[in-house]
Amino acid sequence: MKKLEDYVVSILDYPQEGIIFRDVTSILEDAEGLHLAIDSLIEEVKDLDFDIIIGPESRGFIFGMPVAYELNKAFVPVRKKGKLPCETASISYELEYGTAELEIHTRSIKPGDRVVIIDDLMATGGTMDAIVQLVEGPGAEVVSIVCLMELMGLKGRKRFEGYDVRSVIKYPGK
């Protein structure tokens, strides 16, 4: 049986020289790889005490939703600015080449909710940090931050000292 890492296609020098791009779509394109990815994420969170899974647009939707479904938990999307129809809370954050803004419905997270955040990749941790702030703003608790892949060389995990951070695949470089 193949390991999950075997389904990831690594593309050298993309999007710029010196970068190894870890392509998650190669997991999605293979039924066994997708099944293994979802099962691996379920394994990471199945014993945690939580109420809600949050998944950021767009790959957090892909991986978080089936985990929420399997564990009978609510799923709350975090979207790019302007994509949610009701009242939202938003946060701006820094990207490598500019800024971005994320939003969540204000009705979705309440004080005391226990939340697991699931995404495909942790690099510098900027996006995840913004999501943590959106969750904790109304008084909810981040129980765990779970990523399918983590680029350890970018040290995103350091932003989350005191949090439970889990990754299925850990790559040592960038």
Active site residues: 59, 96
CB-count burial class (<10 Å; 0-12, 13-18, 19+) for 31: exposed
Distance CA 135, CA 106 (A): 10
The structure tokens listed for 56 are: 């950021």
What are the two backbone dihedrals, phi and then psi, of residue 49, each rounded to the nearest 5 degrees? -95, 105
Bridge partners, residue 54, by sequence: 76, 117
Distance CA 69, CA 55 (A): 13
